[in-house]
Chains A and B, each alone.
Chain A
Amino acid sequence: MAACLLLLLAWISLFTGVKNIRFGELFADSEMALFFTISRIPRTLALILVGAGLSISGFVMQQLSQNKFVSPTTSGALEASKMGILVALIALPQASLSVRMAFALVFTFLSSFAFIVFVSKIRLKSTIFIPLIGLMLGAILSAVSTFFAYKHGIVQNTQEWLLGDFSSVLSGQYETVYAILPAVILIYIYAERFTIAGMGESFATNLGISYATVVQIGIFAVSLVVSASVVTVGAVPFLGLIIPNLVSLLVGDNLRGALPLTAFAGASFLLICDIIGRLVVYPYELPIGMTVGIIGSVIFLILIAKRRR
């Protein structure tokens, strides 16, 4: 059923926009077909990939840290990849999109790895306290990036990457987003091992799993997803935080069942947000970072409030 919903939404996304495109005329009208292949298909694909990728990477981070409130938004990962892009921009101004992504990947990996190691070492596992540390880490990273951005007079530009926007996704400049695909496969193969690793180093070793390797693979996959999506479309906040939580409210914590559902739900959620963003101020559009930011923060606040009872 989830797959049907996703297909339906993808269909709507393909045929929503300023340029009126109808399925029947697609093959007759060459201009329409061009629009379709240059803009609509890449956009929809990117939406699905980013949505699915970010939500399951949130899922992985939550498994590894055994904390429902950890995600790329609340662990400094978004800020780290932003910093990577900034460094790439300043050091190699002519660098291509994939070089920037490599920089972002390295930074995100290092910062997420430090964060997960820190979380696993800490004894006092207050559910609320750990995401606070992550948010603080993010604040520091962005303070450091601001230092350099201010010096080079590109503060306004850096705001742009922070705000996810799919309107510039066009054939020929969005292909970096496909880096999410291998990461998703990797996560799927390792899914159970992430859960076991989350139970602690000694427990994992007892069950015959190399703790360090599993954690590194998990963080690598997450960083790949985050940096690929930040480079291509900008940061999309909250996705990795709320989707896994909503799914686990629905189906419980069964890993094999929850993982595909999380991916579907993430992609559908992002598609819905994007379609809303395209329709609200038609013929202009709201960037997705904004629609997701508003809807996502409201859902997250409800989740925190629910936890109280």
Chain B
Amino acid sequence: MKPAVKLLLVLLCLLAGVVLFMSYDVGQNLDYVLSKRGIRLASMILVGISVAFSSIIFQTLTGNRILTPSLMGYEAIFILFQTIIVFAYGDTAFKVISQQENFFYAVLLMLGFSVFMYLIMFGKQKNGMFQLLLTGMVMGILFQTLSQFMHVLIDPNEFSIVQNFMFVSFAKMNTSLLTVASITMVASVGYAIYHAKYLDVLALGRDHAINLGLDYNRLVRKSMLIISLMVSVSTALVGPITFLGILVTNLTYELFKTRKHKQMLWICSAIACIFLIFGQFLVEHVFSFSTTVSIIINFIGGVYFMYLIWMTRKKIS
């Protein structure tokens, strides 16, 4: 199949998903249903784009296809933050702190965390990225332990509040959050697209990139900044979706042989949106909310990841 045909198919899929999601079983109260669904759709597109961009840039930087930035402790710190709020205020937590404030502090906290990580970790040696990642994951385990400790102490009714945050939900979105998030997202997407040509060179590896006259360390720092901004915003909006990144980037590499970031970034975003929209559709109409979209996607993504590891094993050995 020609790439153009494939691209058309992806776009058709996306369009079909949008139409299906918006029009399935609409019922009588058109205005209300459509505006609610519209908000959900917009937030899914936002999250899809941010996951796709951050994962592709991250994989280019690490030169590795089975990693994703959300493993670096962001999600753990987000859950820890939510747990602390509920732990401190109990079921009145969200009267004390508004959703906007919560979003804002969560993003700030995650950004602060990533800045802290670079400050202590980033050296000039070759393995810097992996070291950063391993450190992040260890920090992640530490935060997880702390949250688990509080989860055990929290009363089961209040735990259901924390649980809401542990699993992605597009149902709790609201318009003002969406506006703030879109502005951040548009800014970072613009910046990433502007940098796409450098990313093509970075993909060749550190030594080649330096040889070709790029200021490697500075570019990596800038890209990491974009990544952490995007991951923080999408995590604070809807909660953690660990495996979506791996799933969609690898499908993109598999389907399209192009290595131009300008194209890859958009194609990957479209694929991510398709997964989110159909996943959410399944949750709403097939599972009737008995499970959540993040659990479905992690499930599919996890199985796909196993398959990927199995394939690389064959290639290497």
Contact = CB atoms under 8 A, between A and B. Distances in A.
Interface in B101-131: 123, 125, 127, 130-131
Nearest to A293: B145
Interface in A184-222: none
B46 to A, nearest CB: 23
Contact of A151 (B134, B141, B291, B309): B291
A112 interface: no
A163 B154 CA distance: 14
Contact of B141 (A160, A287, A297, A308): A297
B163 interface: yes
Task: Name the interface size band of chain B.
Answer: 35 or more
Given A128-B131, A150-B167, A304-B131, A162 B148 contact: yes
Interface string A106-145: 0000000000001001111010110111011001100110
A235 to B, nearest CB: 9
B135 A155 contact: no
Nearest to A298: B142
A73 interface: yes
Contact of A289 (B125, B149, B306, B316): B149
A285 B133 CA distance: 33
B159 A136 contact: no
A287 B152 contact: yes
A38 interface: no
A118 B309 CA distance: 9
B295 interface: yes
A308 B131 contact: yes
B291 A156 contact: no
A72 interface: no
B290 A151 contact: yes
Contacts of A139: 71, 242-243, 302
Given A293-B145, A294-B145, A301-B135, A160 B152 contact: yes
B313 A118 contact: yes
Contacts of A159: 148, 151-152
B252 to A, nearest CB: 19
A162 B149 CA distance: 9
Contact of B152 (A121, A140, A163, A304): A163
A136 B137 CA distance: 10
A289 B145 contact: yes
A237 interface: yes
Contacts of A129: 64, 130
Interface residues of A, number: 42
B243 A143 contact: yes
A150 B142 contact: no
| Dominant secondary structure at the B interface | helix
Nearest to A135: B137
B79 to A, nearest CB: 11
Given A121-B317, A122-B317, A155-B163, A143 B67 contact: no
B292 interface: yes
B305 A136 contact: yes
A210 B40 CA distance: 58
A301 B138 contact: yes
Contacts of B127: 126, 128
A140 B167 contact: no
Given A290-B149, A293-B145, A297-B138, A140 B131 contact: no
A122 B316 contact: yes
B308 to A, nearest CB: 10
B43 interface: no
Contacts of B125: 308
B146 interface: yes
B241 to A, nearest CB: 10
**Residue picked from A136, A238, A293, most chain B C-beta under 10 Å:** A136
A170 B123 CA distance: 49
B190 interface: no
Interface in B50-66: 64, 66
Interface in A153-169: 155-156, 159-160, 162-163
A126 to B, nearest CB: 7
Interface string A221-241: 000000000000000011000
B316 A121 contact: yes
Contacts of B146: 290, 293-294
Contact of B71 (A126, A135, A238, A290): A135
Contacts of B280: none
B130 A128 contact: yes
Interface string B281-306: 00000000011100110110110011
B134 A132 contact: yes
A136 to B, nearest CB: 7
A98 interface: no
A287 B66 CA distance: 34
A147 B298 contact: yes
Contacts of B290: 151
5 contacts: A121-B317, A126-B127, A139-B242, A156-B163, A301-B138
In the A-B complex, the 9 residue pairs with the smallest Cβ-Cβ separation, listed nearest first, are: A293-B145, A140-B302, A143-B298, A128-B130, A297-B142, A159-B151, A121-B317, A163-B148, A290-B149
Given A122-B316, A129-B130, A146-B295, 8 more contacts: A73-B141, A128-B130, A144-B298, A150-B291, A156-B154, A160-B152, A293-B145, A308-B125
